[in-house]
Amino acid sequence: MTKVCIVGASGKLGQHMVQHSLDRGYKVVAVCREKSASKLDRFRYSITVVPGDTNDRMVIEKAVADCDAVLTVLVPWGMQRHSSGTAQAVLDFSRQDARLIFSAGNHITKDGLDVYSRKFKATVAAASWFGRLFRAFDLKDQIEACKRIFASDTKWTVVRAEGLEDGESQGLPVWSHHAGDPILDSKLTRRTDFALFMVDSITNESLVHEAPAIVSREAPSAVSCGV
């Protein structure tokens, strides 16, 4: 049976990934902060929970052992290199042949060929400044985390989105290699479908070493591009 570790399982995206993984019959190991473990109560008879900080190397080493895939919610909380610490631990301790899937935003670029609007760049710059001013989050560290992932020889995929919304599934999102592609113009992806894309990537070898930028399948821009 495929064994999947979900790092950051108690958040919104993480909980959707747990559900989609169970729907596929996967065995699930979930990592989340100790104080958030109760958010996974509805899954308690179906999954194994490893409580602990998601950037704690010992926690990650224990959780990813023997896993065929590791799905990581990459978040830049705090000023203690949370994202890069989490990513590095996942890269270091996962099995060499494991599929590693990370979530991120469109501000991450793999090859510098993404095209950003002035508004998007201003929003990211303001968020970055604000996060550092209040020492709440550090977008630069999420960028550093992704640099390490892109440089690694593991079987990684970094799934990117611009905006997330809640709501019913619309099916597997559509994707493009680069932000700025007209198909992504609508910007929004359903959170449940972001999670679906991450889980689906486990068995999609064509996404290895890709950083797909996704949007909901029924978003107007996807529909008008004829998908």
State the residues that interact with ligand NAP by CB under 6 A: 8, 10-14, 32-33, 36, 39, 73-75, 77-78, 82, 103-105, 161-164
Helix (H, G, I), strand (E, B) or coil at 213: strand
End-to-end CA distance of the chain: 33
Which structure tokens are listed for 45?
Answer: 């008879």
Residue nearer to ligand NAP on the CB measure, 25 or 123: 123
Residue nearer to ligand NAP on the CB measure, 98 or 104: 104
Residue nearer to ligand NAP on the CB measure, 163 or 220: 163
Helix (H, G, I), strand (E, B) or coil at 60: helix
Least separation in angstroms between CB 9 and ligand NAP: 7
Least separation in angstroms between CB 83 and ligand NAP: 9
- Listed in order, strand segments (DSSP E) in 150-215 are 155-161, 163-165, 174-176, 188-190, 213-215
Residue nearer to ligand NAP on the CB measure, 18 or 104: 104
Question: Are 156 and 198 a contacting pair, CB within 8 Å?
Answer: no
Q: In which residue are the tokens 């440089």 written? A: 151
Least separation in angstroms between CB 43 and ligand NAP: 13
Residue nearer to ligand NAP on the CB measure, 80 or 203: 80
Q: In which residue are the tokens 């020889």 written? A: 153
Instruction: Give the residue nearest to ligand NAP (CB).
Output: 11
CA distances from 44 to 41, 50, 139 (A): 5, 12, 33
CA distances from 121 to 68, 105, 115, 116, 133 (A): 37, 12, 10, 6, 18
Least separation in angstroms between CB 104 and ligand NAP: 5
Residue nearer to ligand NAP on the CB measure, 14 or 173: 14
Least separation in angstroms between CB 11 and ligand NAP: 2
Of all helices (H) and strands (E), which one includes residue 141?
Answer: helix 139-151
Least separation in angstroms between CB 71 and ligand NAP: 11
